Copies of this chain bind each other. A is one copy, B any other.
Amino acid sequence: MDDMDRRILHELGQDARTSLAHLAHVSGLAASSVKRRIARLEELGVIKGYTVRLDHHALGLGLQALIGIFAATGTTREQLTDALTGQEEIVRAWTTAGNADALALIRARDTDHLEQIILRLQRTPGIAHTRTQIFLSELLNRGD
Name A residues whose Cβ lies closer than 8 Å to a Cβ of B: 1, 9, 12-17, 44-55, 58-59, 64, 66, 77, 80-81, 84-85, 90-99, 102-104, 133-144
| Complex contact B58–A49 (CB within 8 A) | no
Given contacts A15-B49, A51-B50, contact A95 B136 (CB under 8 A): yes
Given contacts A9-B52, A50-B51, A136-B97, contact A91 B58 (CB under 8 A): no
Q: Which residues of B contact A80 (CB under 8 A)?
A: 139
Q: Which residues of B contact A98 (CB under 8 A)?
A: 133-134
Q: Which residues of B contact A53 (CB under 8 A)?
A: 47-51, 144
| Complex contact B54–A48 (CB within 8 A) | yes
Contact of A52 among B13, B84, B104 (CB under 8 A): B13
| Most central of A16, A85, A97 by chain B CB within 10 Å | A16
Pick the 9 closest A-B CB pairs, nearest first: A16-B50, A94-B135, A98-B133, A12-B52, A93-B140, A93-B139, A48-B53, A51-B143, A49-B53
User: How long is the Cα–Cα vector from A141 to B90 in the complex, in angstroms?
Assistant: 9
Q: Which residues of B contact A12 (CB under 8 A)?
A: 51-52
